[in-house]
Structure 1
Amino acid sequence: MAKIMIVEDEAVIAGLIRDELIKWRYDVFQVTQFNDVFADFEIEEPQLVLLDINLPVYDGYYWCQKIREVSKVPIIFISSRNTNMDQIMAMNMGADDYITKPFQVDILMAKINALLRRSYNYAESGEIMSHNDITLNLDNSSMEINGEMIDLSKNEYRLLYILMKQHGKILSRDKLLRALWDDERFVDDNTLTVNINRLRRKIEDAGIKDYIVTKVGQGYIVP
């Protein structure tokens, strides 16, 4: 499930949002130190950010601008500021939506769910994840392409899961190694290449070309 980052200094509101997100089975990261929100963003790599405007140290506009310098991750502003100018400024800085306090939690959740669907173009339930004609079965580690079920090894499955979940984003070889193995120092770098090539071959044999793209010197991406 997607990870959502909450940047809200009012503890009661932040807790209310966190509890509701957890009910929806989202992975949640709540910022508690506001001096370097951007560092938290880079470490946590959320799929969506909920961002207040009135924050200690720097305001939400500042952090939105910093995030937009490196990422197109969906951002929803949540603020007590309700003027048209505030909303226009938020949108001009790259926000995807704006909701004013006080708000109904069910409306916020509807906005979050809709924005995630639009932004990432995948349908994920407790058992499957789908993207661009490939369905990954999370229950039995297999993929389905054009009605054909294809078995995957443990590493092939984990690679495809990570790449599909973060599609549109370049993932470095180091990051993939860390995700696959507890200690990449004891794994030959060539092992990752072998697994990527095997996974590509299975996808291509089923009729889909260039699903996993190599970015020379950067890593791999599922567009």
Structure 2
Amino acid sequence: MRRLLVVEDDARLRDELCVLLERNGYEAVALTDFSDTVGQVLSASADLVLLDLNLPGVDGQYVCREVRRASSVPIIVVTSRDNDMDELLTLSLGADDFVPKPYNDQVLLAHVATVLKRSYGEGAAAAEISHGGVTLDTARCRVTHEGRAAELTKNELRILALLMRNAGAVVSRQRMQEELWASDEFVDDNTLTVNVSHLRATLAKIGVEDFVLTKRGMGYLVE
């Protein structure tokens, strides 16, 4: 199991990110004391670091530079500072990837899997989800079943990944809207319904019927 270090000073975001990583097969540890951020990152024995730039008492770009001088541990910068100059500077200082906030959970997980695979020759499993004979490749936006494959749209991918990662549990429409589009201000119930219908049609093309179930008044479910 790969050990991922979360360096994020916002307690709510930090806890949510740790839960997300643990639910997807990683060991997540978090930095909560920023008095010696560089030293603690280097001593954490992490396989990958998720690094915010706006940290108390120290800038994340400085942390990135100093850690890279002493270690080759992969670093993904996850930050609200999403302008081009910050991205270019951070990458030039040795970061392996740059993900702006707010991020989609499934997109972030795909970035993590890609960096792990590039760094260690592993991590492909984190980009694939299998359930009930259906395999979803999040990196390639493709779903397969019994040797047949179909390409997914971005929204189909997000919906199916969320449901498969929570297989056996009902996912509410509100949660789907919040997680898939960051804010339900941009998506109404009808838009979500249409996207689910498109997903079901795509699955039917490869012989997968009744995979995404509707639980009236509750949400959707992959059993």
Matches within 5 A, 1:144-155: none
| Counterpart for residue 120 of structure 2 | 120
What runs of 5+ residues in structure 1 fail to find an aligned partner? 126-223
Q: CA RMSD in A?
A: 1.4
Change (3 A) 1:35 1:85: same
Matches within 5 A, 1:133-148: none
Q: Is the 8 A contact 2:113 2:123 kept in 1?
A: no
Matches within 5 A, 1:66-145: 66-122=66-122
Q: Distance in 1 between matches of 2:17 and 2:118?
A: 21
Which letter does structure 2 place at the counterpart of 1:99? V
| Counterpart for residue 43 of structure 1 | 43
Task: Using the TM superposition, give the Cα deviation of residue 25 of structure 1 relative to its aligned residue in structure 2, in angstroms.
Answer: 2.1
Q: Is the 8 A contact 2:64 2:94 kept in 1?
A: yes
Q: So what's the TM-score if we normalise by structure 1? A: 0.54
Matches within 5 A, 1:186-197: none
Matched position secondary structure for 2:5: strand
Matches within 5 A, 1:188-207: none
Q: So what's the TM-score if we normalise by structure 2? A: 0.54
Matched position secondary structure for 1:73: coil
Matched position secondary structure for 2:6: strand
Q: Which runs of 4+ in 1 moved over 2 A?
A: 122-125
Q: Distance in 2 between matches of 1:98 and 1:124?
A: 19
Aligned length: 125
Q: Distance in 1 between matches of 2:51 and 2:123?
A: 25
| Counterpart for residue 64 of structure 1 | 64
